[in-house]
Amino acid sequence: MKDDVLLTFNSGSSTLKIGVFEIVDREAKSSGRAKIDFDNFPLALVGEIAGERVATPLVSSDGQDVGEVVRQVFEYAADCLGGSIVAAAHRIVHGGLRFQGPALLDDRCIDEIEGLVPLAPLHQPAALRFIRAVRTVEPALVQTASFDTAFHSSQEDVVRRLAIPRALHDDGIRRYGFHGISYAYVARKLSEIDEEAGRGRTVVAHLGSGASLCGMMAGVSRDTSMGFSALDGVPMATRPGWIDPGVLLYLMRKGMRQPERIEDFLYHECGLLGVSGISGDTRVLVVDQRVEAQQAIDLFCLRVAGEIARQAVTLGGLEAVVFTAGVGENQPEIRARVASRLQWLGVELDASRNEARSHVVSTTSSRVKVFVIPTNEEQVIADEALSVLTRHRL
């Protein structure tokens, strides 16, 4: 008898990452991952499923019919594993004040997620597209949601509060934080790798094209760099991170008055791309010796190091730093530049370990342990989906 199959959907503005899991003894066992890039035509499902490399063309020529894309993904996954698909689980960036844990996607839940679109205009609509596409293809299929903001609901009010009138805070304008699904996985893995570090004061740096940091005590979120939106915090590939609101007032007075224009500017024209004028990709910028490229990298590393130090204040100390996500996991040069700015805090990187991408990349004498832990958002989404299915006895 074949095992039941669970699919996870992690949608970005132009990509869809898919996790394929078999449910064995009430646990989600990964059977592979795949990705669809909607900017790369003709569309294809690329990855590895059931131990086999996948590079399967999809029928949809323009990517607009996501229902057809979902149908083909379902068919391919079922054919590869031979089981029946029993649930689809989605990553949702923003859960607002309503969602502080995973949820069953019924009509009311979907409507509430749609109501949060203004808080995450770049990411929320993409997730809703795939939720509705799954409903169209398999109307009776159980769907669940995991929320990036939920992990940070443990933070104290003083950390989440902006210095604005109380009525606006009470209306939901506050610091939420993101990348929580990634942080949940890293917190779990850190405890497995080093139990003592898992119980201590740790700052996790989730560094990718979107980047944020999270200060944890015993694996529980106490502070984070992103705030009300995914624009805040450290500079990112094309997003500015922290920016003086006076800059936006100035630009509005100079003619940038439309909210849509400001939104496009903040999400797509700033960050490393804006500083360098070359690229938002750190892999390109690190090896580019032009002054503008190196300025962008220096600014990025300075802000990441500064954020680690700031969060140490919230935590009342620092015992570990963890690098994760695409940049954090794969670019030793970035880790080295960040660590060099934190030597005063007791961070010492071992150059050979750092180049070898070991789990522990600090020296044995470093007062602060430094780890590299690959993240796995899909596993958390699948595990949370199973918890929802169990809770609702589905």
Q: Which two tokens stand for residue 15?
A: 């990509």
231-248 pLDDT tens trace: 999 999 999 999 999 999
Distance CA 131, CA 380 (A): 18
What per-residue confidence (pLDDT) applies to 1? 40
Distance CA 261, CA 391 (A): 44
CATH of domain 194-377: 3.30.420.40
Distance CA 346, CA 330 (A): 23
Domain segments of the chain: what residues?
A: 4-147, 194-377
* Mean pLDDT, residues 326-330 taken together: 97
Looking at the predicted structure, is the pLDDT value of residue 13 above 80?
A: no
Distance CA 103, CA 93 (A): 13
Q: What is the CATH T-level fold of the domain 4-147, as seen in this structure?
A: Nucleotidyltransferase; domain 5 (3.30.420)
Confidence of residue 119 (pLDDT cuts 50, 70, 90): confident
250-285 pLDDT tens trace: 999 999 999 999 999 999 999 999 999 999 999 999
23-59 pLDDT tens trace: 998 899 999 999 998 888 888 999 998 888 988 888 7
Percent of the chain predicted with pLDDT > 90: 84
CA distances (Å), 93 to each of 11, 119, 247, 271, 315, in order?
9, 10, 27, 20, 25
Distance CA 91, CA 11 (A): 7
Cβ atoms of 16 and 4 within 8 Å: the answer is no
In the annotation, is 148 catalytic? Answer: yes
The model's pTM? 0.94
25, 148, 223, 264: the active-site residue: 148
Percent of the chain predicted with pLDDT > 70: 98
Task: Please report, as a single letter, which amino acid is at residue 122.
Answer: L
Comparing 4-147 with 194-377, is the CATH topology the same?
A: yes
Counting beta carbons within 10 angstroms of the beta carbon of residue 17, is it exposed (0 to 12), middle (13 to 18) or buried (19 or more)?
Answer: middle
| CA-closest candidate to residue 374, choices 353, 359, 354 | 359
338-378 pLDDT tens trace: 999 999 999 999 999 999 989 999 999 999 999 999 999 99
C-alpha 281 chain-centroid distance: 17
